[in-house]
Structure 1
Amino acid sequence: MSDFERFEQLIEGGTYCISIVTHEERYALEIIRKTAAKFKRDLWVWSIADGVRDGAIDGGPCIADTDVPAAGLLNLSQARPGSICVTLDLADHLKSAKALRILRDLVDNFHKTGITIVMIDSAANLPDVIKTYARPFEISYPDEQELQQIIKATLQRLHRKKPIEVGITQRGLDTIVRNLRGLTRRQAVRVISDAVALDQTFNDDDINLIIANKRRMIQQGGLLEYIQTPLDLDEIGGMSNLKKWLNHRKDVFSPEAKAFGIVPPKGVLMLGVQGAGKSLCAKAIATAWQQPLLRLDPSTLYASYIGESEKNLREALRQTEMMAPVILWIDEIEKAFASAASRSADGGLSQRMFGTLL
Structure 2
Amino acid sequence: MPNGPETKQLLESYLLARIPFVSVRTVERGRTLEILGALADEKQLDVKVHTLSQGLRDVRTKQTVSEDKSLFGALEMAGEMFQSRSNVTVVFTDVQHLDEDNEVARRFADLATLAEERGGCIVVITAEPVWKSLQRMGMAVTLDLPDVDEMRYEIDAFLRPYRGAIRIEWGPEEYDQAASILAGVTKIEALNILATFVVRKSIVKDDLIALTKAKDSIFSELSGIERVQLTAGENRVGGLEGLRKWLDRKRPLLTMDLRDRGMRPPRGVLLIGVPGCGKSLSAKAIASDWQLPLYRLDMASVLGSYVGQSEGRLREALATADSVSPCVLWIDEIEKGLAGSGTDSTGITTRLVGQFLYWLQESRARVFVVATANDVRSLPQELLRTGRFDDMFFVDLPEPDERREIIQIYVRKYLRVPVPDELVAELVDMSEGFAGSDLHAAVTEIGYEAIRVGDENVPFDFYRRAFDNIVPLLRSAPERVEEIRQLRDRAIPASGRARVREKVGGPRRVVLG
Match status 1:101 vs 2:102:
no
Match status 1:62 vs 2:62:
no
8 Å CA contact 2:89–2:121 kept in 1: the answer is: yes
Match status 1:146 vs 2:154:
yes
Flag the 1:193–1:313 CA change in 2: closer, same or farther, 3 A. Answer: same
Q: Structure 2-normalised TM-score?
A: 0.51
- Counterpart AA for 1:138: L
8 Å CA contact 1:16–1:111 kept in 2: the answer is: yes
Question: Separation in 2 of the partners of 1:339 and 1:110?
Answer: 55
Question: Separation in 2 of the partners of 1:96 and 1:257?
Answer: 46
- Counterpart AA for 1:193: A
Flag the 1:29–1:309 CA change in 2: closer, same or farther, 3 A. Answer: farther
Of stretches 212-221 and 175-184 in structure 1, the one that deviates more from structure 2 is: 175-184
Unaligned runs of 5+ in 2: 362-513
- Counterpart AA for 1:44: K
2:192 corresponding residue in structure 1: 190
1:41 corresponding residue in structure 2: 45
8 Å CA contact 2:158–2:191 kept in 1: the answer is: yes
1:282 corresponding residue in structure 2: 283
1:63-142 to 2 correspondence within 5 Å? 63-65=66-68, 67-77=69-79, 78-79=81-82, 80-92=85-97, 97-111=102-116, 113-121=118-126, 123-124=127-128, 126-127=130-131, 129-130=133-134, 135-141=140-146, 142=150
Question: Separation in 1 of the partners of 2:260 and 2:34?
Answer: 39
Shift of 1:333: 6.3
2:451 corresponding residue in structure 1: none
1:161-180 to 2 correspondence within 5 Å? 166-171=166-171, 174=175, 176=178, 179-180=181-182
Q: Structure 1-normalised TM-score?
A: 0.69
2:500 corresponding residue in structure 1: none
SS of residue paired to 1:170: coil
2:214 corresponding residue in structure 1: 213
User: After superposition, what is the alpha-carbon deviation per residue over 1:258-311, rounded to whole angstroms, capped at 9, x for unaligned?
Assistant: 9999886433345689977554333344466x37345264879x9xxx999798
Task: Among all aligned residue pairs of Structure 1 and Structure 2, give the percentage whose two residues are the same amino acid.
Answer: 22
Question: Separation in 2 of the partners of 1:109 and 1:334?
Answer: 57
User: After superposition, what is the alpha-carbon deviation per residue over 1:180-227, rounded to whole angstroms, capped at 9, x for unaligned?
Assistant: 444322112221222344xx4223277154443233223255567776
- Counterpart AA for 1:38: E
Shift of 1:85: 1.8
1:160 corresponding residue in structure 2: none
1:50 aligned residue (44, 54, 68): 54
Unaligned runs of 5+ in 1: 157-163
8 Å CA contact 1:293–1:329 kept in 2: the answer is: no
Question: Separation in 2 of the partners of 1:114 and 1:338?
Answer: 58
8 Å CA contact 1:224–1:294 kept in 2: the answer is: no
Flag the 1:205–1:93 CA change in 2: closer, same or farther, 3 A. Answer: same
Question: Separation in 2 of the partners of 1:57 and 1:99?
Answer: 29
1:32 corresponding residue in structure 2: 36
Question: Separation in 1 of the partners of 2:206 and 2:235?
Answer: 29
Shift of 1:72: 1.7
Question: Separation in 2 of the partners of 1:114 and 1:310?
Answer: 45
8 Å CA contact 2:3–2:144 kept in 1: the answer is: no
- Counterpart AA for 2:190: A
8 Å CA contact 1:86–1:117 kept in 2: the answer is: yes
8 Å CA contact 2:228–2:294 kept in 1: the answer is: yes
Flag the 1:219–1:169 CA change in 2: closer, same or farther, 3 A. Answer: same
> What is the aligned-residue RMSD (CA, Å)?
4.9
- Counterpart AA for 1:105: D
Flag the 1:16–1:169 CA change in 2: closer, same or farther, 3 A. Answer: same
1:226-265 to 2 correspondence within 5 Å? 235-240=236-241, 242-243=243-244, 245-247=246-248, 265=266
Question: Separation in 1 of the partners of 2:191 and 2:332?
Answer: 31
Question: Separation in 1 of the partners of 2:337 and 2:77?
Answer: 46
Question: Separation in 1 of the partners of 2:334 and 2:136?
Answer: 32
